[in-house]
Amino acid sequence: MSRKFNYKDVFSLKNKKIVILGGSGKMGVNFSKILSSAGAKIILGDIKKAVNKPKIQYSYCDVSNETSIKSFFEKTFKQEKKIHTLIYNVYSKPKDYYKKFEDYDDKVWEKVMQSNLSGAYKASKKMISHFKKKKISGNIIFVLSTYGLVGPDFSIYKDLSSKKNIYGGKFSLTTPASYTTSKSGLLGLAKYLSTSFGKDNIRVNCLTPGGVYDGQEKKFVKNYSHKVPLGRMAKWDEYNGAILFLSSDASSYMTGSNLIVDGGWTAW
Ligand SMILES: NC(=O)c1ccc[n+]([C@@H]2O[C@H](COP(=O)([O-])OP(=O)(O)OC[C@H]3O[C@@H](n4cnc5c(N)ncnc54)[C@H](O)[C@@H]3O)[C@@H](O)[C@H]2O)c1
How far is Cα 120 from Cα 91, in angstroms, rounded to an integer? Answer: 12
In a domain, 179, yes or no: yes
Q: Whose CA is nearest to atom 20 of ligand 1?
A: 25
Q: Whose CA is nearest to atom 32 of ligand 1?
A: 62
pLDDT score at 23: 96
Angstrom CA distances, 52 to 48, 58, 115, 187, 261, stand at: 12, 6, 23, 31, 28
Q: Whose CA is nearest to atom 25 of ligand 1?
A: 22
pLDDT score at 161: 86
In a domain, 101, yes or no: yes
Q: Whose CA is nearest to atom 5 of ligand 1?
A: 211
Residues with a CB atom less than 6 Å from ligand 1:
22, 24-28, 46-48, 61-64, 89-92, 115, 143, 145, 209, 211-212
Entry pTM: 0.97
Which CATH number fits the domain that encloses residue 150? 3.40.50.720
In a domain, 2, yes or no: no
What distance in angstroms lies between residue 143's CA and the mean position of ligand 1's atoms? 9
In a domain, 247, yes or no: yes
Best residue for ligand 1 mutational test, from 33, 66, 90 (most atoms within 8 Å of Cβ): 90
In a domain, 74, yes or no: yes
In a domain, 4, yes or no: no
pLDDT score at 2: 62
Closest-lying ligand 1 atom to the alpha carbon of residue 22: 24
pLDDT score at 54: 75
How far is Cα 89 from Cα 27, in angstroms, rounded to an integer? Answer: 8
Q: Which domain holds residue 94?
A: 14-267
In a domain, 197, yes or no: yes
Q: Helix 66-80 vs helix 119-134: angle between axes, to the nearest 10 degrees?
A: 30
Closest-lying ligand 1 atom to the alpha carbon of residue 146: 6
Q: Whose CA is nearest to atom 18 of ligand 1?
A: 25
Low-confidence ranges of the chain (pLDDT < 50): none
In a domain, 43, yes or no: yes
What distance in angstroms lies between residue 88's CA and the mean position of ligand 1's atoms? 9
Q: Partners of 42 in the beta sheet?
A: 18, 56
Domain count, the chain: 1
